Chains A and B, each alone.
Chain A
Amino acid sequence: MTPIQIIDLQKSFGQQKVLDGIRLDVAENETLAVLGRSGTGKSVLLKLLIGLQTADSGSICIRGKAIANLPVLELNEIRKHIGFLFQQSALYDSLTLEQNVVFPMTRHSRAPEKEHVERARELLSSLGMSKEFGKLPSQISGGMQKRVGLARALALDPEILLFDEPTSGLDPITASEISNLILDLKKTRRMTGIVVTHDLRGARIFADRVVLLEKGKIVADGKLSDVQRSQEPFVREFMQDANQVAL
C-alpha cells in the first residue's frame, strides 16, 4: 500500500492560495525532497500530512487511510507512525534533552520508564549526542537541537519521517552532517520520507526524487538529475540559483 498519497490538495489562507491541486505519491522507502521558493506552501504541505492543519479540499491518504475529518484518537493512531522534525526543532524547553525524547515514548508504551530512558539515550548517542542527556534545549547549539529533534521524531519507531527544513540556519558542515544523518536513516531504517528543503546540496545526498513547487503547483517531478536538465524556464532558473548557493 502506498505510504503517502495526495490527491488534488487545495489550501488557502484568506485570498492567498497556497496549495493548488497537488497530486503526489511517495513510494515505500523513498525519500522525496520538496523544493521551492519561500512561501510556496512546502511547510504547509507537511503540516497537512500530519493533520496539524486541514485542507480546503482534496485528500491525503496515509497507508490507504484518508486523514481528513478523522477523530483525534484515530488521527493520533496514524501520527504514531509518522515522525516530524520541525524547522526550529520545537524541543520542549522545560524538559531536558533526554526527557524530550522520552516524552512521546511514555505516552504510547507501558514499558517501564527505565527502558524508555535507555532507548532515548541510545537514540541520542546514535545521533552523536552522548554527553548532553541532562542539558536543557537552551544550553545547546542549533545543530544539536536538530539532532535531538530527530531523536524525538524517531522515538516511536515511525515508518514515515517528515523533515521541515532540516538544514536551515546551520553552517555548511553541520548542514552536511544532518543531510548524511538523513541518508543513514534511509539506509538503516528503510523509512519513507519527505524533506522540505532549500538545500540542493543536501537533496543530492539523500533524495531519491525531487518535486519543485511554485505558486502552489508542482512544476517539476523526478530524479534530481532529470529536474536539473529541465528546459522549463522557472525550473532552470531555480536550479541555477540553487546550484550557485550550493557551490
Chain B
Amino acid sequence: MLDLIKAALAWFGELALFCARLVKAAVTPPYEWREFLRQCDAIGAESLPLVALAGAATGVVLSLETRDTLVHFGAKSFLPAIIVFSMIKESGPIITGLVVSGRAGAGIGAQIGSMKVTEQIDAMEASAVDPYKYLAATRVLACMLMLPLLTIAANFFGILMGWIANTLAEPISLRLFLNAGFKEVAFSDYLPPIVKTCIFGAIIGLIACFQGMRTSGGTEGVGRTATSSVVLSSLFVILADVAIVRLTSAIWPNF
C-alpha cells in the first residue's frame, strides 16, 4: 500500500515537472504552427463523426427517457428546455470529453510511445529540436482548442436528434422546439461548459503526452501506454467535471 502511495506521488511529481517543461516550451518561440494545425485536424476532424454520433444518441435517449416522465407529471412542454439545458451544460461536454479521451487520447499516447521506444524522440533531441514543443505542446493545445468545437457539434446533433425523437412521438416544428428550448438560455449558460471543455482538452492532451513520453518496454509498453492514456484521462475528466460543477455552482449560484 505504501509503495502504491509512493508511486502515485512520484507520478504526480513527474507530471508537474512535465507540465512546467511543456508550458515553457509552448510559450518560447519559434512556434510549431504547422504541426499544431495538423494536430487540430487529426484530433478535431477525425473525432468529429464519433462525437456527433455520441451526441446524437444522447439526444435521442434524453428525449425518449424524459418524455414519459414529463407526460406523467403533465410537464411535457418542458422537454425541449430539458434537452437543450442538459446537452449544453453537462451531457455534451462530458460525452465529448470521454469520446475524445478514448479516440484521441489513445492515439496520442500510442504515437508518442511508439516514437519513444524507437528512439525517434531521442533523434529529435539530438537534432536540437525540443520534443516538448513539437510533440507535446502542439497536441495539448490542439486538444484544448478542439474540445469546445467538438462539444458544440455534439450539442448540435444531440438537440437535433432530440427534436427528431420527440417529433416521431408527437410532431412539433423545429422552430417551436428551438424557441421553447433556448428561451431561458443565457450567455452565462454557455461560458462555464466551454471553459470546462478546454480543461478536459488540457487533461486529455497532457496525460496522453506524459504517458507517451515515459513509455518503455517495446511494443508491449506502447500497448500499456495507450490503455493507461485512455483510463487515466477518462478518470481525470470525470473527476475534473465533478470539481468544476462544484466550483461553478459556488461562483455562479444560479447556474
Tell me the A residues contacting B by CB distance below 8 Å: 47, 50-52, 72, 76-77, 79-80, 82, 84, 86-88, 90-93, 103-104, 107-108, 152, 155-156
Contacts and interface: CB of A to CB of B under 8 A. Distances in A.
Interface in B109-124: 114-115, 118-120, 122-124
Nearest to B114: A93
A82 to B, nearest CB: 7
B127 A103 contact: yes
Contact of B122 (A52, A91, A107): A52
A156 B127 CA distance: 8
Contacts of A103: 127, 129
Contact of B118 (A79, A84, A90, A155): A90
Given A72-B130, A76-B130, A90 B120 contact: yes
A52 B129 contact: no
Nearest to A72: B130
B243 interface: no
Contacts, number: 57
B120 A92 contact: yes
Greatest chain A CB density within 10 A among B30, B120, B127 is at: B127
Given A88-B119, A90-B118, A93-B120, A52 B128 contact: no
B118 A88 contact: yes
B168 interface: no
Contacts of A47: 122
The 7 closest A-B pairs by CB, nearest first: A76-B128, A104-B127, A90-B123, A90-B119, A79-B128, A84-B126, A80-B128
B189 interface: no
Contact of B125 (A79, A93, A152): A79
Interface string B127-154: 1111000000000000000000000000
A155 B124 CA distance: 13
The listed residue with most A CB atoms (<10 A of its CB), out of B30, B118, B128, B129, is B128
A90 B122 contact: yes
Contacts of A72: 130
Contacts of A77: 128
Contacts of B126: 50, 52, 79, 82, 84, 86
Interface string B167-193: 000000000000000000000000000
A185 to B, nearest CB: 17
Contacts of A86: 119, 122-123, 126
Contacts of A51: 125
Interface string B64-89: 00000000000000000000000000
A92 to B, nearest CB: 6
Given A90-B119, A90-B120, 4 more contacts: A51-B125, A91-B123, A92-B115, A103-B127
A79 to B, nearest CB: 4
